Amino acid sequence: MHQSSAPLPIREILQQKVVDHLKFIYPQLEVEPIANELARLMRLDEDCQSPLAHKNLWDQTDIAVITYGNSILNDNQPPLKTLHHFLQSHFPMLINTVHILPFFPYTSDDGFAVSAYKQVDPSLGDWSDILRISTDFHLMADLVINHCSAQHDWFINYQQGADPGSDFFVEMDPEEDLSKVVRPRITPLLRATTTPTGTKHVWCTFGHDQIDLNFANPKVLAKIVDIIRLYLDMGVRIFRLDAVAFIWKKLGTNCLNLAETHEIVRLLRTLIEHANPNAVIITETNIPNRENLSYFGNANEAHCIYNFSLPPLLVNTLVTGNCRYLKNWLMGMPPAQNGTTYFNFIASHDGIGLRPVEGLLDDSEQQALIQTMENFGGQISWRALDDGSNKPYEINISLIDALKGTTAGEDEWQLQRFVCAHAIMLALEGIPAFYLHSLVGTTNDYERMKEHGHNRAINRRQWQEQELNEKLADPDSHHHTVFQQLRRLIQLRREQPAFHPNATQFTLHLGDQIFAFWRQSQDRRQSIFCLNNISDQTQTVSLNAINLIGTDQWKDLVSNAIFDDMLATLTLNPYQTLWISNRW
């Protein structure tokens, strides 16, 4: 009788997976030694765990906040301690995940030109502060993977012909045809740099202080893996792969989303999840929607992808009073399979990206949106096209100012419109993430923008903790109103199984002024009909139109209204949200 062989040990299975990844990335190299080195750096030869496929590492209680380490200041303590205290004080049992934007030493781009990956910026605190935060929250940190600062030791060594670094960067002949390369900036792609062997031209996707790393060199990959291991040791559970779509370069292509890029993401996931099966990878790919979706792979790349199309589509919906484009997009979004989900946000430290709505909003719609945002004090950042022209890349504005009116101008519905936007985000399939400044209703900071000399600073205010606490406690302050209403919605969301990130979602068709969708819990016991009046006019809808099951009792979780008559007509005030549930 044939005897089946014993299953391979986890370590051998992992070794083979890593080798297979590396063979695809580096087909000309002997990859076994590279695989051994990566396993050693991740200490997988000491402790190798077995991740479960298609396991959801989240539920409806997962709510994230996005913040800089120094968004809230107190003169008497390091900013990271102040941030930790603020979150503990104001969001107990509400926020369980915190994304601290790059907290490392840097030279520009508010942290994304990292000059030392293994240090905490001393102006913020130290690793002990990071560890303390990670004990109370799921900690999300940036892996700034595409580039490093021009002041990083690696690039300084490159300029001197020394190691490590002499072969860490992408050199390119300026006479090569690079017209197909997709750029998010208008600065020249190449930077002339003096080296011991003469002038070289190095690749700079995001600007000349951010030098692209050369992942075609496996020594660069090893350095990144070494950094990942440190971050795991320091309590990081969620890795945000910054600008990952750009990391592989190949002449004659657009150098975006290349096959090698996807394979590197798969490799990093394999290494990370065998070190910590509860760790999560999120890809930050501010690109058209279809390309963004590709980073799910077959549930073997990113656990989560940023839902980059949501912010511009939702803002467009609320300032036009028409949800047609948002509804069409939602119908076309595939449900995320178990083990993956969307990372939903509607405001961030950057701006409202316009690339993610390419193919979703036509040029005239985009131009109307841009003009409206400029009318509300927003600024426009640009990118270079291959014909030498420039095109709007993102709108820089605080979300509360972006929603201060409609295309017709400012009106009295700003706060209702702003809360409605967040109610929609909270109810959609995926994990919701609040930008800290949205939670507290921060408006455009023109002074900071002028001081820093770049548009994105308009939405990166630094609050003094005492001043912010006073505003949040003042019932007459819009900060108080926003804060309290959003806290209540967060609490409601956390209590609903139908708002699990992977619960069923279907788009409802109730006209262009009511954006509506249905969520059903994974055990099918709870249904929630989410109705949002996205216009500045009162709207009506018949309960019969949303097909409520008559044998159930239904209640709006937001207003606590109970619906007994299935033939009744509902009236929704401007920007009102209803979460009609059969279970509460």
> Which residues neighbour 12 within 8 Å (Cβ) at sequence distance 6 or greater?
none
C-beta of residue 458 within 8 angstroms of C-beta of residue 446: yes
Nearest CA to 153 out of 116, 100, 127, 105 is that of: 116
Residue type, 135: T
Closest to 96 measured CA to CA, from 65, 69, 125, 131: 65
Are the beta carbons of 97 and 67 closer than 8 angstroms? no
The amino acid at 298: N
CA distance 253 to 18: 27
94 by DSSP, 3-state: which?
Answer: coil
DSSP states of 320-338: HT--HHHHHHHHHSPPPPT
Site of tokens 């001081």: 451
Distance CA(417)–CA(403), nearest Å, equals 6
Q: Answer yes or no: is 109 a known binding residue.
A: yes
* DSSP structure class, residue 119: S
Name every residue whose Cβ is closer than 8 Å to that of residue 398 and which is 6 or more positions away in sequence.
Answer: 347, 437, 438, 442, 443, 444, 445, 458, 459
Q: Among residues 242, 401, 445, 556, which one is catalytic?
A: 242
391 closest CA partner among 164, 186, 530? 186
**242 annotated ligand binder:** yes
Separation of alpha carbons 2 and 372, rounded Å: 73
238 Cα distance to chain centroid: 11
Alpha helices by DSSP H, 138-209? 153-160
Q: How far apart are CA 496 and CA 491, in angstroms?
A: 9
Residues pairing with 100 in the sheet: 67, 141
Q: Are 322 and 406 in contact (CB under 8 A)?
A: no
Which helix or strand (DSSP H or E) is residue 135 part of? helix 127-136
Q: Which residues pair with 97 in a beta bridge?
A: 64, 138
What count of other Cβ atoms lies within 10 Å of the Cβ of residue 506?
Answer: 12
Beta-strand pair 147-149/97-100: unpaired
Angle at the Cα of 409 from the Cα atoms of 420 and 317, rounded to 5 degrees: 40
Is 177 annotated to bind a ligand? Reply is no
Give the C-alpha separation, 172 to 202, whole Å: 6
Is 241 flagged in the annotation as binding? yes
- Residue 333, sorted as left (phi over 0), alpha (psi -120 to 50) or beta, turns out to be beta
242 is catalytic: yes
| DSSP-based three-state secondary structure for 240 | strand
* Binding-site residues from annotation for substrate: 109, 147, 240-242, 349-350, 456
Cite the active site residues.
242
* Binding-site residues from annotation: 109, 147, 240-242, 349-350, 456
